[in-house]
Amino acid sequence: MKEMSVEQLLKLDRAVPVDVRSPIEFREFNIPGAVNIPLFTDEERAEIGTLYKQTSGDAARWRAMEIVSPKIPQLLKQIKSIKDKGNEPVIYCWRGGTRSKSVATFLQFAGLPMPRLIGGYRAYRQYILEKLPSMLKKKAIVLHGLTGSGKTEVLSRLSEQGMPVIDLELIARHRGSIFGSFGQENPHNQKMFDALLFQTLHTIQESPFVIMEAESKRIGKAVQPEELIHLKKEGIHIQLDCSMEQRVNRLSTEYVKPYIQEEWFNVKLEESFILVKKRLRDKEAIALIEDALLQKDYRRFIQLLLETYYDPRYTFKLNEYDGPFYYINSDHIDKAVEEIADIYKKEEEKEKMLN
């Protein structure tokens, strides 16, 4: 049976990790880029687990054989199709145990020897946690700005230009505020956040810089590593300034227009505002925001939230950062991106001269 270490997997061209765990396990966390070809459904896994606990290991293994046997041809066909497209499938499960060994054995008997990841996902996670601190020994260009100033769009445009961007909100699958999961899938947990952060850093490892947003330590369900927090505080800071009108336009486009016809929209909005309300002490402001929500005047709702809640909190957090700031107007994203790209190129040249 062919076996492969995590380090070998990461160096392999056109590698496609094949996760043979159940769908619910795969959804919780996986190796980025993996495909799920499960040996058992969620219900079958639960049944086998119950047999193992309540009857015996032998009974569980026999039932597993009964379930898997009819599936083998189709399962191998799916994995073979990955290979036929010029990719390199690598089989893994939770810890490199029975499931991945079984699938690798079936493949070998079928004349399709394919490697199995030693230690499975657990070995992968251990590897990335060991590597992340050294991968974060870089310099950071950090974007600051009030909510709606266009930081996320700027990062996206810079990434499209091939610049070393870490989009923490994208990695966390959360926009970093009380309304951060609005209209999105469930936020990533810590395991997925760490895996996607590693993948991003691995992609941009040749650059001495990273470009990132000044996010809070916790984003959704995930917490940034201490090394990243330090990198951010010691970075080169860029403040994006933007008119209130443009900020309201952007937030309306991002949070309101795509979802306003959804049945859950108003309910979700009201639930999210309850969390804000607990932190607001200004009763008059609360009454005005509630009235805007009742009237479905979403632009006024957004502006009042910015003025009474988000902007004061942001101004307080900005005091955590020392050192000089660049100031860029972000009413027009294209111009802001161009100016930030120029700053990046100048800082990159300085770094080359020092080295």
Say whether both 163 and 243 belong to one domain: yes
Our count of domains for the chain comes to: 2
Say whether both 102 and 224 belong to one domain: no
Buried b (16+ CB within 10 A) or exposed e, 309-343: bbbeebeeeeeebeeeeeebebbebeebbebbbee
Say whether both 342 and 246 belong to one domain: yes
Q: How far is CA 98 from CA 21, 91, 116, 117, 191, in A?
A: 11, 12, 11, 12, 23
Say whether both 185 and 322 belong to one domain: yes
pLDDT number for residue 155: 97
The CATH number of the domain where 292 resides is what? 3.40.50.300
**pLDDT tens digits for range 115-173:** 999 999 999 999 999 999 999 999 999 999 999 999 999 999 999 999 999 999 999 99
- Residue 180 pLDDT > 90, yes or no? no
Q: 81 lies in which domain range?
A: 3-129
Say whether both 212 and 170 belong to one domain: yes
Say whether both 118 and 141 belong to one domain: no
pLDDT number for residue 231: 93
Say whether both 44 and 183 belong to one domain: no
150 C-beta neighbours (distance < 10 Å), count? 22
Report which residue type is found at 11.
K
- State percent of the chain over pLDDT 90: 83
This prediction has a pTM of 0.92
**pLDDT tens digits for range 16-36:** 999 999 999 999 999 999 999
Is 124:6 a contact under the CB 8 Å cutoff? yes
Of 104-108, 171-175, 309-313, 347-351, which one has max mean pLDDT?
Answer: 104-108
Give the end of a domain, one of 80, 97, 129.
Answer: 129
**pLDDT tens digits for range 274-287:** 988 988 989 999 99
Using the structure block, give the residue that is written with the tokens 């490199």.
96
User: What is the three-class DSSP state of 121?
Assistant: helix
Give the rounded distance of the alpha carbon of 73 from its chain centre: 35
Give the end of a domain, one of 76, 97, 129.
Answer: 129
Residues with catalytic function? 93
Say whether both 256 and 284 belong to one domain: yes
Give the end of a domain, one of 129, 144, 178.
Answer: 129
Say whether both 140 and 246 belong to one domain: yes
pLDDT number for residue 176: 67
**pLDDT tens digits for range 319-337:** 788 777 999 999 999 999 9
Confidence of residue 210 (pLDDT cuts 50, 70, 90): very high
Say whether both 238 and 107 belong to one domain: no
pLDDT number for residue 181: 66
pLDDT number for residue 178: 66
The CATH number of the domain where 99 resides is what? 3.40.250.10
Say whether both 95 and 216 belong to one domain: no
**pLDDT tens digits for range 100-125:** 999 999 999 999 999 999 999 999 99
pLDDT number for residue 322: 78
Is 187:181 a contact under the CB 8 Å cutoff? yes
Say whether both 291 and 216 belong to one domain: yes
Confidence of residue 42 (pLDDT cuts 50, 70, 90): very high
pLDDT number for residue 352: 83
